[in-house]
Chain A
């Protein structure tokens, strides 16, 4: 009975439907005197292509918000499928959707609910798409929980900027949450502080020293790490652990519990085991709503110029009262992605290459997992292939001063890095 439905396409219907937004777009402002309420702005909102990265807790919110802001051409990219633990916040999914691709299900839901919008899903990794794909969008909004993916898209967008061609600059709006806290930021690649510039704001990667796990466990977490890092390969050989498989988690739990009993350590539970091995971050709908709405509000302001957009960072905390802190994060001169100068590091020349490697793994703004090193194209240490690794392994125990001179620039690569890091090391 489609003909019974009132059409939403007429101009009169459009202005009623978007009444709140159109007031902003039709009326001039004394606070934002540069804003000119011209009809082209509304047309731009309707035609602009917006990319949403991630269709999880933030992504569901972002898609809904963009659709109800009047954007009509929205794309979403996500490689995940729906898990039952998503249902407490990812409101575009139902129990029956468990196992389906998030991007596809989310897109279908929004298309059905909001008439006139087209959300196009891409069920794949962001790395599967090339620059031609990203070039098509006016604005890119990220709702990811992975640092690695964020570093990749950030480096890609910064790399795409051609100073001669303003169309190559893609505003990147990034949101993230944890529990009652979160942050939203606007990145103008190459112009303002980028994601890599602020890596040092992240907390130190969690992880416990191997000797503690092996020899002096004190916390339930130490026992769980022992079970997953040391005992799993002992018992299961080559078979990789599947942290989504309850049987594997159960095994880890029981193994950790037995070790805890042996050492009189209390507090190993199934839930903690799962939390530690999957690195679970508490997440609720409310916080996702706040951060996603901030991101989309900034996208709206950038697209319409109807108010000043965020320059460039807002932090939110809801643990004790409600607190936001809005500030300008500074671009780093020696940022390995958007900076002009080489990244410098002061390190003792009598320390070994292995000690440098451990340092880079622990350093919050590096967050490397398995770095490889080379000097002027000559490998110092390589994680792979196996033969090369074995041949170069003795270098790990050599002091740096034997491998190169103070002030030399070495290059560091790592699976988590979307670029190779040029690092000038000055011996102290």
Chain B
């Protein structure tokens, strides 16, 4: 094992070398070297992000060193961008850090294309106006056909932390479903090789060792076939019938030691779910991006279309998605298990080949070289094709200009499943308060005087949304926000640093599923919420 594999061993087990490569080619921009900003970067520098740039025009104050671990007494009075960049850089010699001691707004005025160098922008401690500006530029860059720039806006206010993600489109192939879910056994509709395999076992054998080692997949296939023979070729349709199938399997058991029958019994209900293309994948096939490919379409959409064409070619696919090719472990003799494994794998390979043929046709039609998409990419896509995920985030502009009034009303009413929506309202109201007063609520000594004014901002916001509910945002909570006075508390910065860096890793590696689109944590009650605002 080389030195890098050794150092990154514990994370490579989560996202593999592909994920690692994506991290290493990413360049992250941090706007403002706050405690939370530096904690996010810490958790990205450690696993080996390619580059980061810290933009901050400020100098280090006492309150900075009180909450930011990447500053110390020697940093006082020096450039915050430079000091944090240097101390963060010590964490990993393979990562390149840069710093710019300027204000982001003037940087963008000097060079409107400044953001185009970055994979992702993290903005902290910025006003709504600046957030809208940066978010707009990131969004526009992607619309203009350039590289997509993800925008991540983080806030910490006392014991509350919040993060908003905005990316026009985020597609994930490797969503990492549980291994059990990934197995696609086709008990209800075995392909010929699989059906033949099931028939190769002698269920009348007198050899108890042999009987106790018939793989449960073969058991299920046999009992399912017997069932169909008596039920007009149909698989069990309702609860009673499914239970009857289970009882049939149970009755085939000779001793309580026949674990293979236990396994079959426990998987019987699942086997009665007919193999279908999941509805969210059907929707994906109907997506305009899948319908109308262009030479600029991403690999994801080209392969998605190829899979759709494959599914529609019923002779080849029986109308099913490509087989995942993985099977769970089960009580079996080595030979019969390995044979079963290779039957599924071979079929999966054939499916990949068929999809690959469609990919090649599509590439040709789009005028692209036939080697544009490698077979490995198609293989991975096929393996996870039942679990693909496409997230289209709402833009920040949409959130502010076209509020989801209906959802907002129900979030405010349902305090059981959305306990933290009042916190969302208060964070929004705090921005409005800033617009009115040029400072955030509770910042100064006479903090309690801000409560009524913040409450006024809350009321205005609720009116705009058409909320008539009394006490939708409890005034005690408004008081609490003023108590916090936008104070930076390290524990909350560190918690959010962890959450946000997890999300960024998911965005960059295109593995696992990031949240959509706002996450709020309340450190007072130790609960969290996600809202698609």
Residues of A within 8 A of B (CB): 5-6, 8, 13, 16-24, 27-32, 61, 64-65, 68-69, 84-85, 87-89, 91, 94-95, 112-115, 179-180, 184, 216-219, 246, 263-265, 270-271, 274-275, 280-294, 296-298, 300-301, 307-308, 310, 314, 318-324, 326
* B478-492 contact mask (Cβ, 8 Å, vs A): 1 or 0: 011001110111111
Known: A88-B7, A282-B13, A297-B491. A289 touches B497 (CB 8 A): yes
Chosen A-B contacts, 30 in total, with CB atoms closer than 8 Å, are A5-B76, A8-B73, A16-B61, A16-B63, A21-B489, A30-B479, A84-B6, A85-B9, A85-B10, A87-B7, A88-B7, A88-B48, A115-B73, A180-B14, A218-B332, A218-B334, A265-B334, A271-B12, A271-B13, A284-B11, A286-B499, A286-B505, A287-B502, A297-B495, A298-B526, A321-B514, A324-B527, A324-B528, A326-B525, A326-B527
Cα distance, A281 to B9, chains bound together (Å): 10
* Bound: A233/B480 CA distance, A: 64
Q: Could you give, for residues 190-217 of chain B, a 1 whenever the CB lies within 8 Å of some chain A CB and a 0 otherwise?
A: 0000000000000000000000010000
- Bound CA span A114–B329, Å: 51
Tell me if B47 is interfacial: C-beta within 8 Å of chain A.
Answer: yes
Check if A282 sits within 8 Å of B526, measured CB to CB.
no
List A contacts of B61 (CB < 8 A).
16
Question: Any chain A CB within 8 A of the CB of B43?
Answer: yes
A171 CB, min distance to chain B CBs, angstroms: 15
Query: How far apart are the CA atoms of A115 and B502 in the complex, in Å?
Result: 30
User: In the complex, A300 Cα to B329 Cα: how many Å?
Assistant: 46
Q: A57 — nearest CB in chain B belongs to which residue?
A: B10
- Chain B residues with Cβ under 8 A from A68's Cβ? 66-69, 490
**Cα A301 to Cα B523 with chains together (Å):** 9
State whether A30 and B476 are in contact (beta carbons under 8 Å apart), knowing that A94-B90, A322-B519 are contacts in the complex: yes
Known A23-B484, A282-B10, A322-B519; judge A65-B494 contact (CB<8 A): yes
For chains A and B in complex, what number of residue pairs have CB atoms within 8 angstroms?
249
Q: Does B184 contact A (CB under 8 A)?
A: no
A285–B11 alpha-carbon span in the complex (Å): 9
Query: Which A residues are in CB contact (< 8 Å) with B158?
Result: 20, 23-24
When the two chains form their complex, are residues A293 and B491 in contact, meaning their CB atoms are under 8 A apart? yes
- Tell me if B10 and A289 are in contact (CB < 8 A): no
Residue of B nearest to A294 (CB): B495
Nearest-CB distance from B420 to chain A (Å)? 11
**A113, A265, A281, A286: most-surrounded residue (chain B CB, <10 A):** A286
Across the interface, B333 reaches (CB within 8 A) one of A21, A216, A287, namely: A216
Docked-complex contact B530 and A88, CB < 8 angstroms: no
From residue 42 to 81 of chain B, which have CB atoms closer than 8 A to chain A?
A: 42-43, 46-48, 61-63, 65-69, 72-74, 76
| Residues of chain A with a CB closer than 8 A to B506's CB | 318
Contact with A along B283-316 (1 / 0, CB 8 A): 0000000000000000000000000000000000
Q: Is B397 an interface residue (CB 8 A)?
A: no
* Complex CA distance for A180 and B509, rounded to whole angstroms: 14
The number of chain B residues with a CB under 8 A from chain A is 86
Contact A89 B334 (CB under 8 A): no
Q: Report yes or no: A18 in contact with B66, Cβ–Cβ below 8 A.
A: yes
Chain B contacts for A296, CB-based, 8 A: 491, 494
Establish whether residues B47 and A284, one from each chain, have CB atoms under 8 Å apart when the complex forms: yes
The residue that A286 contacts in the complex, of B13, B90, B338, B502, with Cβ under 8 A, is B502
- Chain A residues closer than 8 Å to B528, beta-carbon distance: 322-324
- A289 contact from B3, B494, B513, Cβ within 8 A: B494
Q: Which of A20, A65, A275, A286 contacts B487 (CB 8 A)?
A: A20
Contacts of A184 in B (CB 8 A): 526
The distance from the CB of B528 to the nearest CB of chain A, in whole angstroms, is 4
Q: Which residues of B contact A114 (CB under 8 A)?
A: 69, 72
B344 in contact (CB, < 8 A): no
13 A-B pairs besides A17-B65, A321-B530 with CB distance below 8 A are A23-B483, A24-B489, A27-B447, A31-B477, A65-B490, A114-B72, A217-B334, A271-B12, A283-B10, A286-B505, A289-B43, A297-B159, A320-B175
List the A residue with the shortest CB-CB distance to B215.
A218
CA distance A281 to B13 in the complex (A): 9
With contacts A23-B483, A285-B42 taken as known, whether A179 is within 8 angstroms of B14 at the C-beta atoms is: yes
Q: Which of B404-428 contact A (CB under 8 A)?
A: none
Q: Which of B39, B47, B175, B487 contacts A23 (CB 8 A)?
A: B487
Contacts of A321 in B (CB 8 A): 513-516, 530
B447 cross-chain contacts in A, Cβ below 8 A: 23, 27
State A114–B8 Cα separation when bound (angstroms).
Answer: 28
B271 to chain A, nearest CB (A): 20
Q: B43 to A285, Cβ gap below 8 A?
A: yes
What is the minimal beta-carbon distance from A306 to any residue of chain B, in angstroms? 9
- Known A64-B69, A307-B159: A271·B490 in contact at CB below 8 Å: no
Chain B residues whose CB sits within 8 angstroms of the CB of A5 once the complex forms: 73-74, 76
Determine the distance from Cα of A294 to Cα of B66 in the docked complex, in whole angstroms: 19
Given contacts A289-B495, A293-B498, A294-B526, contact A88 B487 (CB under 8 A): no
B401, CB-defined interface residue at 8 Å: no
Chain A residues near B43 (CB-CB < 8 A): 284-286, 289
Q: Check: B102 CB closer than 8 A to any chain A CB.
A: no
Specify which chain A residues have a CB less than 8 angstroms from the CB of B503 in the assembled complex. 318, 322
> In chain B between 451 and 497, which residues have their CB closer than 8 angstroms to a CB of chain A?
475-477, 479-480, 483-485, 487-492, 494-495, 497
Q: Which are the 5 A-B pairs with shortest beta-carbon distances?
A: A20-B487, A289-B498, A290-B498, A293-B495, A17-B66
B93, B338, B442, B484: the one contacting A265 at CB < 8 Å is B338
B394 nearest CB across to chain A (Å):
15
Contact A19/B498 with A85-B6, A91-B46, A322-B528 known, Cβ cut-off 8 Å? no
Cα distance A300–B67 when bound, in Å? 14
Contact indicator A91/B13 (Cβ below 8 Å): no
> What B residues does A308 contact at CB under 8 A?
524-525
CB distance from B50 to the nearest CB of A (A): 15
